[in-house]
Structure 1
């Protein structure tokens, strides 16, 4: 019994080192900047129009919950380079949802409208309808989407996207320095989420 307990404790002690050993630069992640952020963070870049982002949304929701016990801040950035002029409008829709504290609800509704219901979006009014259908007051949407706060959020997301040279989504950048190669994670379902969380935590703790 004591021998089994000793083995279990030994495995638990060395597990973090085993996880660290399985992550390699150039395979699981790339260094894209010399300077890291002052605090640990993971920045997600996505677009409502992106089908891969639609599939990745529940994964990142689960990963965010798994990171809740850490000091790693999760930041979402909606890119504007997909969807032409509506890409900008969707970016404002995301910023508006954040400002109104309904981001999770509205992201789910917008993804569903685009990818499941196959609805076409050609104007801001089409986006407004999704908000009002979800129970958001239309006047609150109008005030928020045209606000200084939303314009500031959009400007910040555009700056982040340009600074990190984001060309495709979904993309994850940890500490502003490491870009994750999600195709390198050879797992499915919950195991994928667990390994992605482990990789994020590993990179967030790196000091070199």
Structure 2
């Protein structure tokens, strides 16, 4: 009899834990709405991560970000923006690296390597001589990297990143923006683990539901 009661109690606790885990995120707590919604790609839901290679919190969550990207549904577009704040010259060197790798189509492939170089190995990639040597060691086409890194369009790309940082009103990183409407962060969620992506997935589900046409009324 005691065993049966104990099993029932365990099941009840499990169900309660599951209910808590699946609870909908609360606006103003786990996420907030953007004051001015931003455009998203037609026919897609979008998630944007604003980050900085020099941010330890971005580095801490990166393994969870990579794991989530691998399971990304086909209706979701994910992109990153290297944050650019006025008066923060320390950001530009890292932003140039991200822009260059992005234009080469290898930003995601080398995200972990750049984070490790900056956060663990303490390599000063904002120094061009150090950066180009590191790029060569990674097996990246150095000539192509240099052409983009020092190219005329770099200024345009950095200005665009700064503009998006302002448009999305990003004041800390990492920050995730869901479908141009909501923003959330590990700081809001209170954990630097996969919990943030549970919140993001639930917000995406909300957006999917909102996009469905209303069922026709029965006559």
- The reply to whether TM is greater than 0.5 is yes
Cα deviation for residue 143 of structure 1 reads 0.6
1:198 alignment counterpart: 201
| Match among 45, 68, 83 for residue 63 of structure 1 | 68
Deviation, 1:74, is 0.6
What is the match of residue 52 of structure 2?
Answer: 47
Aligned residues of 1:49 and 1:82 also touching (Cα < 8 A): no
Structure 2 residue corresponding to 1:72, chosen from 76, 80, 92: 76
Q: Give the count of matched residue pairs.
A: 189
**Cα offset for 1:70?**
3.3
Residue of structure 2 in register with 1:6 after alignment: none
Structure 1 position 30 matched with structure 2 position 35? no
TM-score, normalised via structure 1 length: 0.77
1:153 is displaced (CA, Å) by 2.9
Q: Give the one of 144, 149, 152 matched to 1:145.
A: 149
User: What is the correspondence of 1:74-113 to structure 2 with a 5 Å cutoff?
Assistant: 74-81=78-85, 84-113=88-117
Residues 41-94 of structure 1 deviation map (CA, whole Å, 9 limit, x = unaligned): 111000000011111111111112222x23111110001349943411210110
What's the secondary structure of 1:80's corresponding residue? coil
In structure 1, C-alpha distance between the alignment counterparts of 2:40 and 2:107, rounded to whole Å: 26
Distance in 1, Cα, partners of 2:207 & 2:168: 17
**TM-fit CA distance, 1:189:** 5.5
Quickly say closer, same or farther: Cα 1:146–1:129, change in 2 above 3 A: same
Tell me, yes or no, if structure 1 residue 128 matches structure 2 residue 125. no
Aligned residue for 2:179?
175
| Cα distance between partner residues in 2 of 1:59 and 1:82 | 29
Whole-angstrom distance in 1 between the partners of 2:150 and 2:57 = 29
- Contact between 1:106 and 1:131, CA under 8 Å: does it hold in 2? no
For the aligned residue pairs, the C-alpha RMSD in angstroms reads 2.9
Unmatched segments (≥5 aa) in structure 2: 1-17, 212-219
Distance change (3 Å), C-alpha of 1:60 and 1:203: farther
Q: Give the direction of change, closer, same or farther, for the CA distance of 1:119–1:181 in structure 2 (3 Å limit).
A: closer
Unaligned runs of 5+ in 1: 1-14
